[in-house]
C-alpha cells in the first residue's frame, strides 16, 4: 500500500482534484477528518505515501490520539480513500486476540458494506506504550502475533491488509516491510507534531488533532482524592433520604427537585468567570458544586424519566453548562457508587455528540457501558453514534417530548404516572423507539464492536452495607 521511499506530494489548498491521479501506492485523506467516499470535492486532499505519514494522520482520522488501541481503517477505490474505522483496546490476554481480530474485521467490513461500499483493503495500527523496562522494539515483537491475526482475519473476508503500523515510545514500525534500510529494527521517530503536509493542510482548514484518550477520560473519571470519602458519605445520606421518596408513586417531588437543582447548578457554572486550561476549568467546576448537591443529583438521575428530561438540554445556551455539569457528576460517582456514573456519563456523551464532539461522545458512552454494560440508554446512543446517525434526528425527538412535558415544577409534581416509570406514550419512549430503529436492535460497544446487550442477571447481592449503593440504584432507576 505504501511506498516507503517516496516523499509525499505537495498540497494545493485550492486544488481539490490533485488526488485524482494518485497511484495505488498512496492513500488520500481530507484534513477536515471527513474521510471516505463522502469527502467534499471543495476540500483539499492530501496524499499519504509513507508509514510516517500514516502514523501522523492517525489522530486526524480518529479525532484523538489513541492509546493502548488496535485500529482498523478501510481503504476504498483506486485512489485509496480512507473510509470507515473501528478501534478497540488491545486485550491483555493473548488468547483473546484471534477472536477480537475476527470481530473487528467483521465489524469494519460489514459496516462499510451496509453503507454500500466494500473496502478494497485495510490499514491497521497497533498503539501501545512500553511497560516498565520494556523498550518500544520489545512492544513491537510482543504485538507481532496480533498483527498477524489481524491480517488473517481480514484476509478471510477477502480484504487484504495493506499495512500494519505499530506506534510505541515516540517511534513507529511497520510489520509489512522486511527492508531494514527503510524500516530499521530500532524503528523510526514519529514526525514532529505540526511539521507534516497533513498538519499544514489541517491548520489551513482550522482542524487540530484532539487530546489523547487518557486526557478525555480523565475529565470523566471518579475522584481518587481525599474528597472522595466525603462525597461517598454524602451519597450514602442522599440514598437513605431520597430512595423512599423516589419509590413513592404519588408524585414527582424528587424529579422536580432534581431538575430544578440541575438548572441552578448549570446557571452557577455558566456565571463563573472563565479560566484557562482543561484541568483548571474542571477543578473550578468541582468547587462550585457541594457534596450534598452532587449526591442529590446523582441519585435523582437514576430515575429513567428524570434522566430523559435532563437529556433535553442538548443544544443552544443550555448545552455547554449541562455538559460541564454531567462531567462533574461523573467525577463524583466515587467508591461504591461507581455504577451510578452510567447516567451522567451517558448524558455527557449525548450532549458532547450533539454539540459535534463525536470523540468525547464516544468515549463517555464507552465509559458508561464499562461501568454498567446493561445500561440501555448508553447502549442505544453508543450504537447510533458509532453508526453515524445524525444527532439532529434524536434532537427533533427530544424537542417534541419537551413540548409535551409539564412546563413548571408544580405541573411536574402533579403529573400522574411518570415518577414510577409509567411514562405516557409521548415521552421518553418515543426516543427509545427512534434509537431502537437506528440501532437495528443491537448496540455497539467500545471501538465500534458489538456488545452482548443481554438482559441483566436475575437475583442480586446481599443486603449488607457494602451492597447498599447497588440496591438503592436498582430501586431508584425504575428502568433505564
**Weakest mean pLDDT among 26-30, 67-71, 192-196, 207-211:** 26-30
pLDDT (0 to 100) of residue 301: 94
- Whether the pLDDT of residue 11 is over 80: the answer is no
Which own/partner contact pairs does 470-477 have at CB distance under 8 Å and 24+ positions apart? 470/336, 470/339, 472/239, 472/243, 472/299, 473/302, 473/337, 473/339, 473/340, 475/243, 475/246, 475/247, 476/239, 476/242, 476/243, 476/246, 476/247, 476/299, 476/302, 476/303, 477/302, 477/303, 477/304, 477/343
Cα–Cα dist 332/348, whole Å: 14
Residues contacting residue 88 through CB under 8 Å, at least 6 positions apart: 69, 70, 100, 104, 446, 447, 448, 449
Q: Which of 109, 87, 116, 204 is nearest to 160 (CA)?
A: 109
Alpha carbon 332 to its chain centroid, in Å, reads 20
pLDDT attached to residue 49: 66
459 has pLDDT over 60? no
Report the alpha-carbon distance of residue 118 to residue 29 in Å, rounded: 18
Closest C-alpha among 154, 427, 189, 151 to residue 312: 427
Q: Which residue has the higher pLDDT, 377 or 19?
A: 377
Kindly give, in sequence order, each residue whose CB lies less than 8 Å from that of residue 253, ignoring residues fewer than 6 positions away: 245, 413
C-alpha to C-alpha distance for 173 and 185, rounded to whole angstroms: 8
* Residue 196: predicted pLDDT: 64
Q: Please tell me what DSSP assigns to residue 346.
A: H
Handedness of CA 423, 428, 431, 437 (dihedral sign): negative
Residue 10, pLDDT > 50, answer no
Tell me the residue ranges of DSSP E strands in 155-280. Answer: 161-168, 171-174, 188-189
What DSSP designation does 450 have?
B
With a CB cutoff of 8 Å and minimum separation 6, the contacts of 358 are: 63, 352, 385
Model confidence pLDDT, tens digit, residues 194-252 = 656 666 666 666 555 667 778 888 999 999 999 999 999 999 999 998 888 888 755 46
Using alpha carbons only, what angle is made at residue 223 by residues 269 and 338, rounded to the nearest 5 degrees?
100
Cα distances (angstroms) measured from residue 82 to each of 10, 30, 346, 363: 19, 9, 29, 22
What pLDDT, on the 0 to 100 scale, is given for residue 362?
Answer: 86
Instruction: Give the number of C-alpha atoms closer than 13 A to the C-alpha of residue 393, restricted to the C-beta side.
Output: 14
What is the pLDDT confidence band of residue 62, given thresholds at 50, 70 and 90? confident
Residue of 328, 245, 260, 321 lying closest to 291 (CA atoms): 328
Average pLDDT, the chain: 76
Residue 333's nearest CA partner among 383, 370, 280 is 370
Mean pLDDT of 400-410: 66
Note the residue count of the chain: 480
For residue 445, name the pLDDT band (cuts at 50, 70, 90). Answer: very low
Percent of the chain residues topping a pLDDT of 90: 40
Secondary structure E strands in 169-274: 171-174, 188-189
283-318 pLDDT, tens digit per residue, is 999 999 999 999 999 999 999 889 999 999 999 999
Section 100-117 average pLDDT: 88
Rounded to the nearest 5°, which phi and psi values hold at 243? -60, -45
3-state secondary structure of 360: helix
Written as one string, the DSSP assignment of 38-87 is T--TTS--EEE-SHHHHHHHHHHHHSSB--SEEEEEEEETTTTEEEEEEE
Q: Hey, what's the cell of 395?
A: 434532537
Whole-angstrom Cα distance, residue 353 to residue 357?
Answer: 5
Residue with cell 461504591: 336
pTM over 0.85: no
Q: Do residues 33 and 207 touch, judged by C-beta distance below 8 A?
A: yes
Amino acid at each position: 500500500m505504501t511506498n516507503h521511499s517516496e516523499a509525499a506530494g505537495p498540497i494545493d489548498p485550492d486544488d481539490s482534484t490533485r488526488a485524482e491521479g494518485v497511484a495505488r501506492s498512496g492513500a488520500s485523506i481530507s484534513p477536515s477528518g471527513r474521510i471516505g467516499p463522502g469527502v467534499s470535492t471543495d476540500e483539499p486532499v492530501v496524499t499519504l505515501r509513507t508509514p510516517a505519514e500514516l502514523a501522523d494522520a492517525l489522530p486526524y482520522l480518529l479525532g484523538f490520539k489513541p492509546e493502548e488501541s488496535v485500529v482498523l481503517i478501510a481503504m476504498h477505490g483506486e485512489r485509496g480513500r480512507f473510509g470507515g474505522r473501528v478501534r478497540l483496546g488491545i486485550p491483555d490476554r493473548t488468547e483473546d486476540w484471534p477472536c477480537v481480530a475476527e470481530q473487528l474485521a467483521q465489524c469494519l467490513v460489514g459496516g462499510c458494506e451496509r453503507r454500500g461500499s466494500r473496502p478494497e483493503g485495510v490499514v491497521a495500527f497497533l498503539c501501545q506504550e512500553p511497560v516498565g523496562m520494556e523498550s518500544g522494539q520489545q512492544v513491537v515483537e510482543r504485538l507481532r502475533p496480533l498483527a498477524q491475526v489481524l491480517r488473517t482475519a481480514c484476509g478471510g473476508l477477502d480484504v487484504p491488509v495493506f499495512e500494519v503500523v505499530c506506534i510505541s515510545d515516540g517511534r513507529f514500525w511497520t510489520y509489512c516491510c522486511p527492508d531494514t534500510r527503510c524500516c530499521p529494527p530500532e524503528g523510526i521517530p514519529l514526525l514532529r507534531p505540526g511539521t507534516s503536509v497533513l498538519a499544514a493542510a489541517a491548520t489551513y482548514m482550522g482542524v487540530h488533532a484532539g487530546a489523547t484518550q487518557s486526557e478525555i477520560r480523565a475529565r470523566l473519571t471518579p475522584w481518587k482524592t481525599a474528597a472522595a470519602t466525603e462525597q461517598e458519605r454524602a451519597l450514602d445520606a442522599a440514598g437513605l433520604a431520597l430512595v423512599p421518596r423516589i419509590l413513592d408513586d404519588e408524585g414527582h417531588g424528587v424529579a422536580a427537585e432534581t431538575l430544578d437543582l440541575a438548572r441552578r447548578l448549570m446557571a452557577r457554572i455558566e456565571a463563573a468567570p472563565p479560566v484557562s486550561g482543561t484541568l483548571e476549568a474542571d477543578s473550578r467546576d468541582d468547587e462550585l458544586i457541594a457534596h450534598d448537591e452532587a449526591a442529590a443529583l446523582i441519585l435523582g438521575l437514576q430515575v429513567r424519566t428524570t434522566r430523559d428530561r435532563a437529556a433535553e438540554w442538548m443544544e443552544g445556551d443550555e448545552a455547554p453548562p449541562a455538559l460541564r455539569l454531567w462531567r462533574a457528576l461523573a467525577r463524583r460517582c466515587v467508591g461504591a457508587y461507581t455504577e451510578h456514573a452510567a447516567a451522567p456519563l451517558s448524558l455527557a456523551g449525548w450532549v458532547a455528540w450533539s454539540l459535534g464532539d463525536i470523540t468525547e461522545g464516544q468515549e463517555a458512552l464507552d465509559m458508561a457501558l464499562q461501568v454498567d454494560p446493561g445500561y440501555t440508554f448508553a447502549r442505544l446512543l453508543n450504537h447510533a453514534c458509532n453508526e453515524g446517525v445524525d444527532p439532529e434526528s434524536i434532537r427533533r425527538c427530544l424537542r417534541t417530548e419537551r413540548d409535551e412535558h409539564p412546563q413548571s415544577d408544580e405541573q411536574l409534581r402533579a403529573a400522574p404516572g411518570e415518577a414510577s416509570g409509567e411514562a405516557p406514550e409521548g415521552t421518553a419512549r418515543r426516543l427509545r423507539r427512534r434509537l431502537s430503529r437506528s440501532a437495528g436492535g443491537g448496540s455497539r460497544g467500545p471501538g465500534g464492536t458489538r456488545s452482548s446487550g443481554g438482559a441483566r442477571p436475575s437475583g442480586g447481592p446481599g443486603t449488607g452495607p457494602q451492597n447498599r449503593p447497588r440496591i438503592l440504584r436498582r430501586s431508584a432507576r425504575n428502568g433505564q
